[in-house]
Amino acid sequence: MKRNHRIGAVAVLALAALVTGTGAGFAATTTPSATPVATHAFDAAPATATAPTRSFQGALPAPTGPYAAGEDVIHLTDASRLDPWVPSSGPRQLAVTMVYPAVPGTGTPAPYMTLAEAAGIVQRQNLPASSGVTPQTLSSVTTHAFDGARPQRGKYPLVVLSPAYEDPRITLTSLATDLASHGYVVALVGDTYGDSGETLANGQTPPCAICGDPARIDSIPASRALDVSFVIDQLTHGNTAWRLAHLIDKHEIGMAGHSIGGAAAAATMIADPRVRAGVNMDGTFHPAPMPGQINRPFLMLGTADNHPVGGDNWGQAWAALGGYKKWLTVAGADHFSFSDLDLLHEQAGFPTPPLSPERGVEITREYVTAFFDQTLKGIHRPLLDGPSPNNPEVLFQP
């Protein structure tokens, strides 16, 4: 398998593969169309009664901006279309986490996810109790976001975040809280029936219906683009969908995604001109954009191993992009350096890539925020002009 074609996280939380101590736990498979897909395999023997129980207390890094991060979870139903993965379930339902600039010292600590969402991860990945990763410990990861926090006054650009294939929306929480602390409203959009479970308005947390089905992969970005356009509609047409919708500057909207979420960012930009800037974090485009389809700012941020210069997929996308664009690779990173996952791996005592997980989070935050500052707020960020001595891991391509 050529790693530059890898689409990314197929398991919900790669902790599962690492419980065995076997490393990243990737297993290559091939779809009928010969498109390579990376998966996580969990092949551990059943836990024995004598296996020691690990201690897992997860914590994401604190936001770096001047504001605190407030959080609300909203539930939206798109009555205009059936769920694309399970049509028999009725209209498309979405769980969306809104993160916003807040007044420090207000609100109460927000959980990382619901207990049911955490149980879905543990069950799907068959995590043994000896790992220390339980629904209780996973849902109680410290996020530095606060439920019901008092919002800062003003209007802020909206950034939509889309996770990797089979990964729940919460895996981009560390990026979301940092963006909010720097003056952005962030919408983390889950892919209902497309991951280990998103708790819906009725309290149910349905399991994944398309996980492990490579035939579905090419249709995911376009499906998520429909989800995102619907969410943008709900957040910018009146104030009924979210109590703090007045915070959003509806003329300044961006989107970033990890893995197939990055492909979804490109698909959304092609379909919805309201999205003025996009970021793909280490995801293969499905398909690569054609010339003329994206003439707005776009950042490609990834690993050199997965997307080398001269590689077909990112190379085609780079040539087609018509607006302001940057292609950055991060030395020593792996696919999960751009989400919360490597950091959680480290905190659970499992192997991590050469680039420390803390640096992975820091670099992702710095460059994504700088990109949106420059493209949505019109603030020049020299960080994007070229190599920085403070970030020697970040290489500017071509």
Q: For residue range 15-33, list pLDDT tens digits in order.
A: 443 333 222 222 222 222 2
Q: Which sign does the torsion angle of CA 138, 332, 306, 289 carry?
A: positive
Give the mean pLDDT of 367-393. 97
pLDDT grade for 328, boundaries at 50, 70 and 90: very high
pTM for the model = 0.89
Rounded alpha-carbon distances, angstroms, from residue 347 to 142, 183, 340: 12, 29, 11
Helices (H), 215-356: 220-236, 260-271, 312-320, 341-347
Question: According to the model, what pLDDT value does residue 50 have?
Answer: 44
In this predicted structure, the answer to whether residue 2 has a pLDDT above a threshold of 80 is: no
Question: According to the model, what pLDDT value does residue 345 have?
Answer: 85
How does 252-280 read in b/e, with b if 16+ C-beta sit within 10 Å?
bbbbbbbbbbbbbbbbbbbbbebbbbbbb
Alpha carbon distance 241, 17 (integer Å): 38
Give the angle subtended at the CA of 369 by the CAs of 368 and 372, to the nearest 5°: 85
In this predicted structure, the answer to whether residue 41 has a pLDDT above a threshold of 90 is: no
> Do the beta carbons of residue 210 and residue 85 sit within 8 Å?
yes
Give the mean pLDDT of 143-159. 98
pLDDT grade for 349, boundaries at 50, 70 and 90: confident
* Max CA separation in the chain (angstroms): 61
Whether the bond between 287 and the residue before it is cis, its omega within 30 degrees of 0, is yes
Alpha carbon distance 84, 90 (integer Å): 10
In this predicted structure, the answer to whether residue 394 has a pLDDT above a threshold of 80 is: yes
Q: Which residues pair with 68 in a beta bridge?
A: 102
Q: Which helix (H) or strand (E) holds 115?
A: helix 115-124
Question: According to the model, what pLDDT value does residue 52 have?
Answer: 55
Give the mean pLDDT of 333-345. 94
Alpha carbon distance 317, 33 (integer Å): 20
* Tens of pLDDT, residues 82-129: 999 999 999 999 999 999 999 999 999 999 999 999 998 888 777 777
Q: Which amino acid is at 278?
A: G
Q: Which residues pair with 70 in a beta bridge?
A: 100, 146
Q: What is the DSSP letter of 142?
A: B
Question: According to the model, what pLDDT value does residue 126 have?
Answer: 75
Question: According to the model, what pLDDT value does residue 174 have?
Answer: 98
Question: According to the model, what pLDDT value does residue 123 have?
Answer: 82
Give the angle subtended at the CA of 190 by the CAs of 148 and 378, to the nearest 5°: 70
Question: According to the model, what pLDDT value does residue 8 have?
Answer: 36
Question: According to the model, what pLDDT value does residue 105 have?
Answer: 97
Cβ-proximal residues to 262 (8 Å cutoff; 6+ apart), any chain: 162, 256, 279, 280, 281, 282, 283, 285
pLDDT grade for 308, boundaries at 50, 70 and 90: confident
* Tens of pLDDT, residues 220-230: 999 999 999 99
Q: How large a percentage of the chain has pLDDT more than 90?
A: 76
Strands 108-109 and 91-102, how do they pair? unpaired
Residue among 140, 143, 208 nearest 177 (CA) = 143
Alpha carbon distance 81, 24 (integer Å): 38
Q: Which amino acid is at 385?
A: D
DSSP 3-35: GGG-----SS-THHHHTTTSTT-EEEEE-TT--
Alpha carbon distance 187, 173 (integer Å): 10
The more confident residue out of 21 and 397 is 397
Alpha carbon distance 61, 39 (integer Å): 27
